[in-house]
Amino acid sequence: MPASLSIVIPAYNEAVRLRSTLRTIVDYLRENWPDSELIVVDDGSSDDTAALARQTFEHGGNLRTSVISYKSNLGKGRAVRLGLLAARGDVTLFSDADLSTPITETPKLVDPILRGECDVTFGSRALDRQLIGVHQPWRREQGGRVFNLAVRVATGLPFWDTQCGFKAFRMNVCRPLVEAATVDRFGFDVELLYLTYKAGLRLREIPVRWDHNEGSKISLFSDSFRMLNEVGLIRQQARRGVYDQAIKAVHAARVSDNS
The gap from C-alpha 127 to its chain's centroid, in whole angstroms, comes to 18
pLDDT in tens, 126-160: 999 999 999 888 778 887 888 888 899 889 999 99
Instruction: Find out whether 196 and 203 touch, Cβ atoms under 8 Å.
Output: yes
| Cα–Cα distance, 137 to 96 (Å, whole number) | 19
- Within 10 Å of residue 148's Cβ, how many Cβ atoms? 20
Cα-based distances in Å from 44 to 84, 98, 155, 170, 235: 17, 18, 31, 27, 29
The bridge status of strand 37-43 relative to strand 5-11 is parallel
**What is the edge-to-edge ordering of all strands in the sheet holding 166-170?**
64-70, 37-43, 5-11, 91-95, 166-170, 120-124, 203-207
Contact 226, 219 (CB under 8 A): no
What's the pTM? 0.93
Domain 1-98 has what CATH class?
A: alpha beta
Cβ atoms of 196 and 120 closer than 8 Å: yes
Query: Could you tell me the pLDDT band of residue 223, with boundaries at 50, 70 and 90?
Result: low
Q: What is the mean pLDDT of residues 10-24?
A: 95
Q: How distant is the alpha carbon of residue 172 from its chain centre? A: 16
The overall average pLDDT reported for the chain is: 91
pLDDT of residue 256: 65
Q: What is the pLDDT of residues 96-128, one digit of tens each?
A: 999 999 999 999 999 999 999 999 999 999 999
d(CA 157, CA 159): 6
Number of C-beta neighbours around residue 137 at 10 A: 12
The predicted-structure confidence for 32-63, as pLDDT tens digits, reads as follows 999 899 999 999 999 999 999 999 998 767 78
Domain positions in the chain are 1-98, 100-164+172-259
Question: 121, 112 in Cβ contact below 8 A?
Answer: yes
User: CA-to-CA distance for 106 and 138, rounded, in angstroms?
Assistant: 28
Q: What is the 3-state secondary structure (H, E, C) of 129-193?
A: HHHECCCCCHHHHHHHHHHHHHHHHHHCCCCCCCCCCEEEEEHHHHHHHHHHCCCCCCCHHHHHH
Q: Are 176 and 249 in contact (CB under 8 A)?
A: yes
